[in-house]
Amino acid sequence: MPAPIKRVEGRMAPLDLADVDTDQIIPKQFLKRIERTGYGPFLFYDWRARGDFVLDRPEHAGARVLVAGANFGCGSSREHAPWALRDFGFRAIIAPSFADIFRGNCYKTGLLAVTLPESQVRHLIDLVTEDPTAMVVVDLEGQEVRGDGFSYPFEIDAFPREMLLKGFDDISLIERREQEIAAYEEARAEWLPAVPAVSQSRRN
């Protein structure tokens, strides 16, 4: 369960590209770990290996907010992508749009994925390109991204917002619905497939 998160404050790093897919964020050769941590060094591995990758420039070291292009996080459902971004040091990502599974994965990882209109994202990218020390606050409570001379309100669904603010454990919330779940299970059609809970591999 991620810790509660109310706001993220810090410097930005720009990734001025659309359709950044999770294969780029964390290439498959690093998906073989069985832990949730330790992915940071492999973030954007192939791009960084080619040299002069924007996130490796000294002026962006320690940035906490990633600003990126549209449809960020498309492709594979690998939650290793937000794990790697978080491990690397990011706590929030701002983009004009996110792929659905990726955004959900971010919330579960305690990463703020914030959608702003294209023009405002453009402004942030220009700003950090010009002045890498520019600070932003991504304020989940107040639902706005603000900095020197600007404040951009953002929308976020009420439920994930609550979960992020309070750091709830989804599973224990669902477990409170035991009666409803049991009633649903009771009423399921009997023909629905079920697999005897044994190791099938031994049988075939």
* Cα 32 from Cα 19, distance rounded (Å): 24
191 binds other proteins (CB under 8 A): yes
Contact (Cβ atoms closer than 8 angstroms) between residue 81 and residue 113: no
Which of 53-61, 77-85, 87-95, 127-135 is the region at the interface with other proteins (rule: CB under 8 A)? 77-85
Structure tokens at 39: 């992915």
Return the number of the residue (28 or 166) whose C-beta is nearest other proteins. Answer: 28
Measured CA distances, 99 to 119, 123, 135 (Å): 19, 22, 26
Q: Which of residues 21-50 bind other proteins (CB under 8 A)?
A: 21, 23-24, 27-29, 31-36, 46, 49
Sheet strands (E) in 47-103: 65-68, 92-95
Amino acid in position 156: I
Q: DSSP string of 128-165? A: HHH-TT-EEEEETTTTEEEETTEEEE----HHHHHHHH
185 binds other proteins (CB under 8 A): yes
Structure tokens at 100: 């659905």
Shortest reach from residue 135's CB to other proteins, in Å: 27
Shortest reach from residue 82's CB to other proteins, in Å: 8
Shortest reach from residue 139's CB to other proteins, in Å: 21
Return the number of the residue (24 or 120) whose C-beta is nearest other proteins. Answer: 24
Residues within the interface to other proteins (CB under 8 A): 16-19, 21, 23-24, 27-29, 31-36, 46, 49, 69-71, 74-80, 97, 99-101, 104-105, 108-109, 157-159, 170-171, 174-175, 177, 180-181, 184-185, 188-201, 204
